[in-house]
Structure 1
């Protein structure tokens, strides 16, 4: 069972479950492929264009995901809350192996790990090159990777704005789980798997925009 602190379990989680229906209505969240979400642990790999992306994913999945977040967010005044919200600090600009190994351990406990392979927000309509961290998780844990494409959060909460705009439609497309078992742990394979995952996310984007 995925661990949660007492504050998270008895205060923040019930609060979020109560707010979640209103949040979904506020941003007109449409979910495609929800049936692809596996029961147990998996790595949820999504594109990233807005600060709104993590709460949107948590509004879609049955339980809050464990998110990797840049360590700067853990500073006061709100940093103390993040540890109760299944967030793990990650040093950007380097491969934080100890944090990735912690994520592997959490996957083995049954957690769903949320990760943005691009590492930072991309410009509207664009994708950045995937970083190898998601490949490390996929190969060293053996758990499936769930590719996800989020569309509309960059319009609902554009970069540089202090507050999001309500009633801007957000779509979440969930692909079929990807398996990467049996691959040799190596930097080359981490990069290859990360690129494959990013290509699957791009395919989900294409499927949505063809409609």
Structure 2
């Protein structure tokens, strides 16, 4: 049983080239995303467009950890549930959501997470939270760093609709990282965030 709508993703994979063209998305390194095992995709975060963009370039479905408030938004809430998103209670350590993510990774799924926990200002990065470090430590799964640029121009904080065509969007996927799972969660998260910045 899939934790997402397989039919929905089958349709999505057929139509997503259209969105890549409209949003002017350029990408490289997607071959670094493992196809046959559970893994963690860790990306910087500057726009609500980021999860959508990553799912337009990934060779497999990404199940994102998303703030719980989004699940109550009409239509969007239904859509992200069908996409297999995991609700996360912000401003406190949500053990239940982390356990769910660990379970899905061990079952062979691809989990997407933004280590910063919230959107950063244009051109900046926030200090990472320890959640991604915990996932790496508990699963020892491959963690793939990803850097996204341009989404904060196309769909900045406070904007109601994307500004299509204002900027290209760039996605660079790095090679899976070798991480010492015995390190403290916070140190693992910091290491991953530094690798994202290097891309």
TM-score grouping bracket, smaller chain normalisation: over 0.9
1:74 to 54, 61, 71: 71
* Structure 2 residue 179 is the aligned partner of structure 1 residue 197: no
User: Normalising by structure 2, what TM-score?
Assistant: 0.93
Unaligned runs of 5+ in 2: none
**Which residue number in structure 2 is paired with residue 14 of structure 1?**
10
Cα offset, 1:64, TM superposition? 2.0
How many corresponding residue pairs?
196
| 1:62-100: CA deviation from partner (whole Å, max 9, x where unpaired) | 122010010011115232332211101000111111211
Cα offset, 1:3, TM superposition? 1.8
The CA distance in 2 between the partners of 1:165 and 1:64, in whole Å, is 26
| 1:2-42: CA deviation from partner (whole Å, max 9, x where unpaired) | 8234xx222x2233123200110011111122221222221
**Which residue number in structure 2 is paired with residue 100 of structure 1?**
98
2:150 to 146, 149, 152: 152
User: Normalising by structure 1, what TM-score?
Assistant: 0.88
Unaligned runs of 5+ in 1: 205-211
Matches within 5 A, 1:1-211: 3-5=2-4, 8-10=5-7, 12-39=8-35, 40-78=37-75, 79-167=77-165, 168-183=167-182, 189-204=184-199
The CA distance in 2 between the partners of 1:3 and 1:183, in whole Å, is 31
**Which residue number in structure 2 is paired with residue 207 of structure 1?**
none
The CA distance in 1 between the partners of 2:28 and 2:9, in whole Å, is 24
Residue 131 of structure 1 aligns to a residue in which SS?
Answer: coil
